[in-house]
Structure 1
Amino acid sequence: MLFSANEDQNFALSKFESMLKTNNVFFFDSAEFEEIIHHYLDTGKVGLAKKAIKIGLEQHPSSVNLKLMEIELMVFENKLDEAEKLLDALYLLETSNAEIYIQKANILSKRDQHYKAIELLKMALEYSNDLADVNSLIGMEYLFIDDFKEAKKYFMKCIELDIDDYSSLYNVIYCFEFLEDIDGAISYLNEYIDKNPYSEVAWHQLGKQYYIKKMYVEALAAFDFAIIADDHFIGAYLEKGKVLEKLGEYKEAIHNYKTTLELDDPTSFAYLRMGKCYEKLGQKDLAVKFYYKTVHEDPLLDKGWTAITDFYVKEENFQKALYYINKAINIDTENVSYWKRSAEIHRALQLYEEADIAYQKTVELGNYELNTWLAWADILKLLGEYENTTHVLLQALEFYPDHAKIEYRLAGIYFILGEQNKGTFHLKNALRNNFKMHLQFQKLFPGVFMRTSVKNIISEFKKSST
């Protein structure tokens, strides 16, 4: 009875591990050692791989392949100088061994010498029997130096050698996207599909490109073909659902999201999208139900918490909105979108001191949007904290120089504080940048607006500008 390759490998592994346990010495040919080492590396058992290499070289000291595996492990562990010395010695013996060039290139790549690595990999192409693998390595080196055009070219070569090399296909599309050449990606994928019409991956990628171009009908057709090629392709159902949402086909979108739940474990993304669809359909109870499922499935998904919070804000149920945004903040205290929503909800509930704290945290976490600064300043004004209001507005002015909304507010606050010169300065700046907005200034600071001195400034500015 003949043994299969797997049975031979299992026998060799068992024999090797028995040798380690008993300290008996068994002989293995070099090919068996290579299989044993590959197995340990593939399973992450680096220590056992090292032992196998050591014993293998003791039994086969002239084996170039075992020496190359030793070098590969050294490179993996960043022992680059040691690996380089061994490689140089091997190179003198075998100048046409592609693996030597590949490992030399690997060392150069680790030293960020990517151009030199590419030169060596191109030399390896002359000697390698695995051109796809070497072309892929060259493509990756070009990615490291952000040369997406060259990277794309080499990944395309990989696909020419193996039409089912989906890893390279993904990299080709990544390069097209980074180059913002969506039309090029669509053209390439259509050519690829002509050669490989039942590739669910290619149809899926084509649909995504059409989606980016907002060609929703074409995207829908592409995802349908992906599903025909593989009716268990969850990604295609999810993407199809997104397209159907864009087309306003919410019931059909829900059907596709439900299909993903039947095919595999539920995902927070599917639950979230279903909740959004039910909300669009006006089925609020079901919308909330699926938002709950979203945060239960993945408590760290900020889109889930913001969806349920925003739902209650729209319903003007600010107490419930506050409850859920507080739960979200307890889970992730550094999420800026949570703090901004917290500030807005507290403001709606007229809890101004809490709103002040939340806006401060929002800015500390890097939200420098104009409306954040303005809302925070308006809260401080309501609290009567005029000095702090000017401090916030002056910070805002650094991000939005001469912006009329900031200038009008600074003018109003300075007039309230009795600093006439500063008030006049900022009021004139505001009028110069947007005269019509002085009507909003009247709403924000009615008392200040009624002052004779302020009316005179506005009147004089109007005359001078006509």
Structure 2
Amino acid sequence: MHLSPNEHNNVSLSRFESMLKTNNVLFFDSDEFEEIINHYLENGKMSLAKKATKLGLEQHPSSTNLRLYQIEMFIFENKLDIAEQMLDELHLMEQSNEEIYIQKANILSRRDQHNEAIDLLELALKITEDQSDVLSLIGMEYLFLEDFENAKFHFMKCLEQDEADYSALYNIIYCFEYLEQHEAAIDYLNDFLNKNPYSEVAWHQVGKQYYILKEYKKALAAFDFAIISDDRFIGAYLEKGKTLERLKRFEEAIDSYTITLGLDDPTSFALLRIGKCYEKLGDAELALQFYSKCVEEDGLLDKGWIAITDYYIKNKDYQKALYYIDKALNIDSENVLYWKRFAKINTRLNLFEEAEHGFRKTLELGNYELETWLMRCDILIQLGEYNAAIKNLFQATEFYKENAEIEFRLAGLYYYLTEDRKAEFHLKNALKYNEDFLMIIEELFPTVYVRSSVREIIKKHKKPSL
């Protein structure tokens, strides 16, 4: 009775694992060891792969392929010097083995010597029988160098060798997109589709290019062809839904997203988009249902919590908005988008100390938008924390120089602190930069605005009207 290759592999694997459990030493030929090692590597079982390699080399010390597996593991563990020394020894014995050049190139790539890696891969290309893999590796090295034209060329050559290599196709489109050559990408994909008319991946990519170009009807047709080619292609249904939203066909978008929920476990993205569509259709109850399902599915998806919070902000229900943003912050206290909303909601509720805390956290987390600095300043003014407000504004000037909104506030604050010389300096600066923001003094510092000395400075510096 003859065993199929898969059955043979399973028998070898069972024998090997049985040997590990019993400590009985069994003999395997080198091909069996290669299959066992490959199985463990593909399944991420590195320690078992290392054991199999060690035992394999004990039984077959002259096996080049087993030594190459060992070298691959050393490279994976970043033991590059050991791997390089072993490769040099192998190269003296076998100068026509392309795998030696490939692994040498791998080491050079890890050392960021990408041009040298390409030179070695070009040598491997001349002697290999499987050019597509080497062409793909060369393409990746050019990607590391951000040489997208050369990367694209080599991935195209790779795809010519193996039209089923969708990773090469994705990389080609990535290069087109980086170079913003969207029309060229569509032309290339259409040529590919002429030879592979039922390639759902190619149709999907055509649709994405048309979507980027805002040609939504053409994008929709491409996604429909992707679905005809594979009616379980979740990515195509999701992109179709996004496109239908752009065309304001929200009921159809909901249908497209809903199909994905039946094909696999619900994705938080689909649930979020369905909620957005219902909100656009004015169905608040269903919108909130789907937003809630979205955050139940993935509590770390900030867009879900933000959608619920923004819904209540838009409807001026600030207590509920605060309830949901508090829940979000309990899950992720380092999310700057949450803190910014927390601060704004508390401002609306006149909870100024909480609002100031929110704006401070927003800044600490790296959100240096001018609005954040100004809103924190205005809250500190409300709290009577004038020195803290000044310090906040001077920090803002590191990012926004010669800004009238900052200078008018500094002027008003220094007048409040009776430091009139500093106040006049900043008031004159503000008027020079942009007198249109004079309303800041009037609204935030009304007692300052009516002073005769202030009115005199404003009168002198105001540009005459035409």
**What TM bracket, shorter-length normalisation?**
over 0.9
Separation (CA, whole Å) in 1 of partners of 2:463 and 2:90: 89
Match of 2:377 in 1: 377
Q: In the superposition, relative to structure 1, how do residues 322 and 48 fare at CA in structure 2: closer, same or farther (>3 Å)?
A: closer
Structure 2 letter corresponding to 1:205: Q
How far residue 437 of structure 1 moved from its aligned partner, in angstroms, is 2.5
Match of 2:179 in 1: 179
Separation (CA, whole Å) in 1 of partners of 2:451 and 2:305: 47
How far residue 95 of structure 1 moved from its aligned partner, in angstroms, is 1.1
Matched, 1:46 2:46: yes
Separation (CA, whole Å) in 1 of partners of 2:452 and 2:196: 80
Separation (CA, whole Å) in 2 of partners of 1:59 and 1:389: 76
| 1:224-252 deviation digits (Å, cap 9, x = unpaired) | 11111111111111111111111111111
Structure 2 letter corresponding to 1:394: F
Separation (CA, whole Å) in 2 of partners of 1:50 and 1:270: 42
Matches within 5 A, 1:58-137: 58-137=58-137
Query: SS of the residue aligned with 1:61?
Result: coil
Q: In the superposition, relative to structure 1, how do residues 431 and 40 fare at CA in structure 2: closer, same or farther (>3 Å)?
A: same
Matches within 5 A, 1:324-363: 324-363=324-363
Q: In the superposition, relative to structure 1, how do residues 448 and 20 fare at CA in structure 2: closer, same or farther (>3 Å)?
A: closer
Structure 2 letter corresponding to 1:409: R
Separation (CA, whole Å) in 1 of partners of 2:361 and 2:427: 29
Match of 2:458 in 1: 458
Matched, 1:9 2:9: yes
Separation (CA, whole Å) in 1 of partners of 2:110 and 2:65: 22
How far residue 202 of structure 1 moved from its aligned partner, in angstroms, is 1.0
Q: In the superposition, relative to structure 1, how do residues 19 and 287 fare at CA in structure 2: closer, same or farther (>3 Å)?
A: closer
Structure 1 letter corresponding to 2:298: D
Structure 1 unmatched ranges of 5 or more: none
Larger mean CA deviation between 387-396 and 160-169 belongs to 387-396
Query: SS of the residue aligned with 2:398?
Result: helix
How far residue 345 of structure 1 moved from its aligned partner, in angstroms, is 0.5
Matches within 5 A, 1:265-276: 265-276=265-276
Structure 2 letter corresponding to 1:45: K
How far residue 12 of structure 1 moved from its aligned partner, in angstroms, is 2.0
Q: In the superposition, relative to structure 1, how do residues 24 and 392 fare at CA in structure 2: closer, same or farther (>3 Å)?
A: closer
Q: Residues 56 and 66 of structure 2 are in contact (CA less than 8 Å); yes or no, is this contact kept in structure 1?
A: yes
Q: In the superposition, relative to structure 1, how do residues 356 and 2 fare at CA in structure 2: closer, same or farther (>3 Å)?
A: same
How far residue 268 of structure 1 moved from its aligned partner, in angstroms, is 0.9
Matches within 5 A, 1:299-314: 299-314=299-314
How far residue 24 of structure 1 moved from its aligned partner, in angstroms, is 4.1
Matched, 1:264 2:269: no
Match of 2:169 in 1: 169
Separation (CA, whole Å) in 2 of partners of 1:52 and 1:351: 65
Match of 2:435 in 1: 435
Larger mean CA deviation between 159-168 and 54-63 belongs to 54-63
Matched, 1:285 2:285: yes
Q: In the superposition, relative to structure 1, how do residues 385 and 53 fare at CA in structure 2: closer, same or farther (>3 Å)?
A: closer
Separation (CA, whole Å) in 2 of partners of 1:460 and 1:50: 83
How far residue 141 of structure 1 moved from its aligned partner, in angstroms, is 1.4
Cα RMSD between the aligned structures?
1.7
Separation (CA, whole Å) in 2 of partners of 1:170 and 1:92: 38
Matches within 5 A, 1:399-418: 399-418=399-418
Q: In the superposition, relative to structure 1, how do residues 405 and 66 fare at CA in structure 2: closer, same or farther (>3 Å)?
A: same
| 1:18-44 deviation digits (Å, cap 9, x = unpaired) | 344444444332222221221222223
Separation (CA, whole Å) in 2 of partners of 1:321 and 1:263: 33
| 1:314-357 deviation digits (Å, cap 9, x = unpaired) | 11111111111111111111101111101100010011111111
| 1:144-172 deviation digits (Å, cap 9, x = unpaired) | 22222211111111111111110111111
Structure 2 letter corresponding to 1:398: E
Query: SS of the residue aligned with 1:78?
Result: coil
Q: Residues 300 and 332 of structure 2 are in contact (CA less than 8 Å); yes or no, is this contact kept in structure 1?
A: yes
Separation (CA, whole Å) in 2 of partners of 1:461 and 1:448: 17
Q: In the superposition, relative to structure 1, how do residues 229 and 463 fare at CA in structure 2: closer, same or farther (>3 Å)?
A: closer
Q: Residues 409 and 440 of structure 2 are in contact (CA less than 8 Å); yes or no, is this contact kept in structure 1?
A: no
Q: In the superposition, relative to structure 1, how do residues 125 and 433 fare at CA in structure 2: closer, same or farther (>3 Å)?
A: same
Separation (CA, whole Å) in 2 of partners of 1:43 and 1:398: 52
Query: SS of the residue aligned with 1:224?
Result: helix
Match of 1:232 in 2: 232
Separation (CA, whole Å) in 1 of partners of 2:266 and 2:342: 29
Structure 2 letter corresponding to 1:88: D
Structure 1 letter corresponding to 2:404: A
How far residue 81 of structure 1 moved from its aligned partner, in angstroms, is 2.2
Separation (CA, whole Å) in 2 of partners of 1:427 and 1:43: 68
| 1:423-450 deviation digits (Å, cap 9, x = unpaired) | 1111111111222332343223222111
Query: SS of the residue aligned with 1:146?
Result: coil
Separation (CA, whole Å) in 2 of partners of 1:446 and 1:24: 91
Separation (CA, whole Å) in 2 of partners of 1:25 and 1:334: 54
Q: In the superposition, relative to structure 1, how do residues 12 and 405 fare at CA in structure 2: closer, same or farther (>3 Å)?
A: same
What fraction of aligned residue pairs are identical, expressed as a percent? 64
Separation (CA, whole Å) in 1 of partners of 2:87 and 2:463: 84
| Aligned residues between the structures | 466
Match of 1:202 in 2: 202
Match of 1:317 in 2: 317
Separation (CA, whole Å) in 2 of partners of 1:312 and 1:25: 69
Q: In the superposition, relative to structure 1, how do residues 435 and 81 fare at CA in structure 2: closer, same or farther (>3 Å)?
A: closer
Separation (CA, whole Å) in 1 of partners of 2:238 and 2:21: 51
How far residue 391 of structure 1 moved from its aligned partner, in angstroms, is 1.4
Structure 1 letter corresponding to 2:104: K
Larger mean CA deviation between 115-124 and 87-96 belongs to 87-96
How far residue 174 of structure 1 moved from its aligned partner, in angstroms, is 1.4
| 1:67-118 deviation digits (Å, cap 9, x = unpaired) | 2222222222223222222222221222111111111111222222221111
Match of 2:190 in 1: 190
Separation (CA, whole Å) in 2 of partners of 1:59 and 1:439: 87
Structure 1 letter corresponding to 2:250: Y
Separation (CA, whole Å) in 1 of partners of 2:350 and 2:24: 81
Separation (CA, whole Å) in 1 of partners of 2:396 and 2:79: 51
Separation (CA, whole Å) in 2 of partners of 1:362 and 1:143: 36
Query: SS of the residue aligned with 2:366?
Result: coil
**Could you state the TM-score of these two structures normalised by the residue count of structure 1?**
0.96
Match of 1:32 in 2: 32
